[in-house]
Chains A and B, each alone.
Chain A
Amino acid sequence: QKEVEQNSGPLSVPEGAIASLNCTYSDRGSQSFFWYRQYSGKSPELIMSIYSNGDKEDGRFTAQLNKASQYVSLLIRDSQPSDSATYLCAVNTGNNRKLIWGLGTSLAVNP
C-alpha cells in the first residue's frame, strides 16, 4: 500500500516565524511531489511542486526533497495569518502516475 504521511497538527506559529511542514512517503519510485494549500471551505490549490533532490524556493515558500530518506518538506518564511490553512502533501507514484495524498497538516499563524 503506497502511503503518504503527515503530522495532522495543529501546528501553531507566531506571525513572522518560520513554519516547517513535513511529509514522508513509502514508494521509493515516486518521481513528483507537491504541496497544496486548502483554506476552510475551499478547494486545494497548488503552491509548490518539486521533482529533484534539494531545495526549491518560490517567494516565502521553500520545498525540500530528500529521496534517500523519502521525505519532502515545506518551509514558510515570515509566516502571515493569511497562511493559516491546511497543507496537503501529494506524491505522484506508480506507472499510472496516480497522485497519493497525505491527510494534511493544519497550520495556525497567530498575530
Chain B
Amino acid sequence: GAGVSQSPSNKVTEKGKDVELRCDPISGHTALYWYRQSLGQGLEFLIYFQGNSAPDKSGLPSDRFSAERTGGSVSTLTIQRTQQEDSAVYLCASSANAGGVTEAFFGQGTRLTVV
C-alpha cells in the first residue's frame, strides 16, 4: 500500500523480554517519527529521523529504548527488558519534508502489552 505500515499490530510480551517494532514509511519520505500514546493521553515524542542528519533522540524515556533507520527507509524501535509501564500504542509517522510539504502521516500503530 501507499501508506505508513507498522508491524505487528499487536504485541503481547512478558516483562523483561525485548521487543522490536517495525515501521515502513511512505516511499520517498525523508522524515520519520516514533511516538508513544497511553490510553487517553497525548502523543509522547520518542525519536525523529530526518534524512542523513543525526536523529533527535531527546524523547527516548530510558536507555532501554533505541531506534534505527536503515537506508533512510524502514525503522525499527527496540525496547529492551520491557516493563509494564511500557504498555502503550506505539505510533510511527513519516513526512516528505521537502518543497514545503511537511505534513506527517501515521501508521495504524502497534499496541504493546507487557504482562
A residues within 8 Å of B by Cβ?
31-32, 34, 43-46, 49, 51, 88, 90, 92, 96-99, 101-104
When the two chains form their complex, are residues A104 and B104 in contact, meaning their CB atoms are under 8 A apart? no
Which chain A residues lie closer than 8 Å to B7 at the CB level? none
B34 within 8 A of A: no
Number of interface residues, chain B, beta carbon within 8 A? 22
B residues within 8 Å of A by Cβ?
31, 33, 41-43, 45, 48, 50, 53, 56, 91, 95, 97, 100, 102-109
Which chain B residues lie closer than 8 Å to A32 at the CB level? 100, 102-103
Distance (whole angstroms) from the CB of A105 to the closest CB of chain B: 11
A104 to B35, CA, bound (A): 15
Which chain A residues lie closer than 8 Å to B108 at the CB level? 43
Which chain A residues lie closer than 8 Å to B103 at the CB level? 32, 34, 46, 49
A61 to B53, CA, bound (A): 36
A90 to B102, CA, bound (A): 11
Question: In this complex, what residue of B is CB-closest to A101?
Answer: B43
